[in-house]
């Protein structure tokens, strides 16, 4: 573990030329501008997304990200793990969506390449996001992750793809990647005497909770590194974007959503995480405020759903609008306008809400529609410029308590 992550990196090369980088980001975002999140899930569009992302990291010579993506797809998120829990979302989209959110911070110049450079630059952050679940979910060891990267760096040098300075730079970046992934991990595989992950009698890997499960120690370890904490924000934003389907409103799912929301609120709301980060790393101030706002919007929606499911006596048809204004101040979501709505966390959530509302309506149940059109969508009305009309129709009505007008009829 690095006590000061900046001290481990002494770059021998220059940062990518900003104009070329921004052009490649724009090309990536354009390639991913599918009609909807639903459309992004088709096999053809998944392949289009993968090819566009591969082109992006290849054009920018993000060699460590290339190797990390290769391992992610060929060793981890494949076979029975190729889809998310909803059984329809490509599992690697979990990482891609987080990376796009990070890239949007760079493209909007909310986070500059100069600010990233002391921590290894974009390649380190993208690679770390690609491997952030490797320790927790796939029982990979620190050595296994770093060895694969060191071997790729050596291959690149042997093939004449990189020069000696680049060889040195890339080797210096490898431990920065595992440091970020390590700080993000709350559990880790138990190793046997030969340093291989142990398995139980059913063949599942055995994990131990780090820091004896103490979230305060975990958080302290995170906020000692700005990219690790930023990456945890991105992970949480993605985690709040897809919690709703018509089959996810059982008591067990409610408990899961409530615990998830409560933990994020503790980590990033009730605890002075942002202030501690911004005081320690003032160059990241605008980025922290931006990701906090995006997480806040999704978190308020999730907490509202939890509230009405937990308190059925309160009729959603009488609901006042939720409060997201605190997160929309000073255009804090503006950096994320660079992300196509199909891959943007708040838009993904809104699309899921519409789909779930329609599924409830098909069962002659207006409960979810009332939550959506009375409590949630009116709060977004002042910010229509941020959202496509398919997610926030122009005729959404501003409302007062107890006067929830019915949603517009659908053909």
Question: pLDDT tens digit string along 117-171?
Answer: 999 999 999 999 999 999 888 888 899 999 999 999 999 999 999 999 999 999 9
Above 80 in pLDDT, residue 248?
A: no
Of residues 8 and 341, more confidently modeled: 341
What pLDDT, on a 0 to 100 scale, did the predictor assign at position 193?
77
What pLDDT, on a 0 to 100 scale, did the predictor assign at position 403?
52
Inter-residue contact 234 to 129 (CB < 8 Å) = yes
What pLDDT, on a 0 to 100 scale, did the predictor assign at position 103?
98
What pLDDT, on a 0 to 100 scale, did the predictor assign at position 243?
75
What pLDDT, on a 0 to 100 scale, did the predictor assign at position 208?
81
For residue 10, what pLDDT band results from cuts at 50, 70 and 90?
very low
- Over residues 101-130, the mean pLDDT reads 97
Inter-residue contact 350 to 47 (CB < 8 Å) = no
72-86, 110-124, 234-248: which is most confident: 110-124
- Find the helix or strand (DSSP H, E) in which 256 lies: helix 251-265
H helices of 345-400, where?
345-362, 367-370, 377-380
Share of the chain above pLDDT 90, in %: 71
Share of the chain above pLDDT 70, in %: 91
361/256 Cα distance (integer angstroms): 24
Above 90 in pLDDT, residue 58?
A: yes
Average the pLDDT over each of 1-15, 335-349, 370-384 and give the range with the smallest value: 1-15
Phi and psi of 164, rounded to 5°? -65, -40
Among the listed residues 129, 93, 318, the one whose alpha carbon sits nearest the alpha carbon of residue 234: 129
Above 70 in pLDDT, residue 7?
A: no
What pLDDT, on a 0 to 100 scale, did the predictor assign at position 156?
97
How do residues 263-277 score in pLDDT, each as one tens digit? Answer: 999 999 999 999 999
CA pseudo-torsion sign 279, 283, 288, 290: positive
- Find the helix or strand (DSSP H, E) in which 209 lies: strand 207-209
What pLDDT, on a 0 to 100 scale, did the predictor assign at position 398?
57
- Over residues 10-39, the mean pLDDT reads 83
Model's pTM, two decimal places? 0.91
For residue 15, what pLDDT band results from cuts at 50, 70 and 90?
very low
How do residues 302-341 score in pLDDT, each as one tens digit? Answer: 999 999 999 999 999 888 899 999 999 999 999 999 999 9
What pLDDT, on a 0 to 100 scale, did the predictor assign at position 188?
80
- Residue at token pair 């009332």: 370
- Over residues 254-268, the mean pLDDT reads 92
What pLDDT, on a 0 to 100 scale, did the predictor assign at position 46?
98
For residue 405, what pLDDT band results from cuts at 50, 70 and 90?
low
**C-alpha to C-alpha distances, 21 to 107, 113, 194, nearest whole angstrom:** 8, 10, 44
What pLDDT, on a 0 to 100 scale, did the predictor assign at position 395?
76
How do residues 77-99 score in pLDDT, each as one tens digit? Answer: 999 889 988 889 999 999 999 99
Structure tokens given for 294: 């995006």
């Amino acid at each position: 573990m690095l006590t000061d992550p900046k001290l481990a990196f002494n770059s021998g090369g220059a940062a990518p030329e900003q104009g070329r980088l921004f052009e490649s980001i724009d090309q990536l975002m354009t390639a991913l501008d599918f009609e909807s999140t639903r459309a992004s899930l088709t096999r053809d569009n998944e392949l289009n997304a993968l090819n566009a992302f591969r082109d992006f990291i290849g054009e920018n010579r993000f060699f460590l990200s290339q190797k990390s993506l290769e391992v992610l797809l060929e060793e981890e998120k494949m076979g029975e793990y190729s889809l998310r829990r909803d059984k329809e979302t490509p599992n690697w989209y979990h990482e891609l969506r987080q990376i796009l959110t990070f890239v949007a911070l760079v493209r909007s110049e909310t986070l500059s390449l100069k600010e990233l450079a002391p921590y290894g630059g974009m390649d380190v952050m993208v690679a770390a996001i690609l491997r952030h679940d490797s320790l927790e979910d796939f029982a990979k060891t620190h050595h296994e992750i770093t060895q694969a990267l060191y071997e790729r760096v050596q291959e690149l040098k042997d093939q004449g793809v990189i020069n000696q300075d680049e060889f040195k730079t890339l080797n210096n970046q490898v431990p920065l990647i595992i440091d970020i992934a390590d700080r993000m991990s709350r559990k880790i595989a138990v190793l046997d005497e030969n340093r291989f992950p142990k398995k139980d009698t059913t063949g599942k890997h055995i994990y131990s909770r780090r820091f004896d499960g103490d979230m305060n120690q975990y958080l302290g370890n995170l906020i000692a590194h700005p990219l690790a904490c930023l990456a945890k924000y991105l992970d949480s934003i993605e985690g709040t974007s897809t919690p709703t389907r018509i089959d996810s409103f059982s008591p067990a799912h409610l408990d899961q959503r409530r615990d998830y929301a409560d933990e994020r609120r503790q980590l990033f709301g009730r605890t002075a995480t942002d202030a501690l980060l911004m005081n320690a790393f003032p160059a990241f101030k605008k980025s922290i405020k931006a990701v906090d706002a995006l997480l806040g919007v999704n978190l308020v929606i999730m907490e509202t759903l939890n509230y009405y499911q937990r308190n059925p006596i309160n009729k959603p048809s009488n609901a006042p609008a939720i409060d997201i204004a605190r997160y929309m101040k000073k255009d804090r979501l503006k950096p994320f306008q660079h992300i196509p709505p199909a891959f943007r966390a708040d838009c993904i959530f809104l699309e899921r809400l519409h789909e779930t509302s329609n599924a409830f309506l098909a069962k002659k149940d207006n409960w979810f529609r009332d939550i959506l059109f009375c409590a949630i969508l009116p709060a977004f009305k002042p910010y229509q410029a941020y959202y496509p009309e398919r997610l926030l129709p122009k005729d959404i009505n501003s409302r007062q308590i107890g006067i929830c007008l019915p949603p517009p009829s659908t053909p």
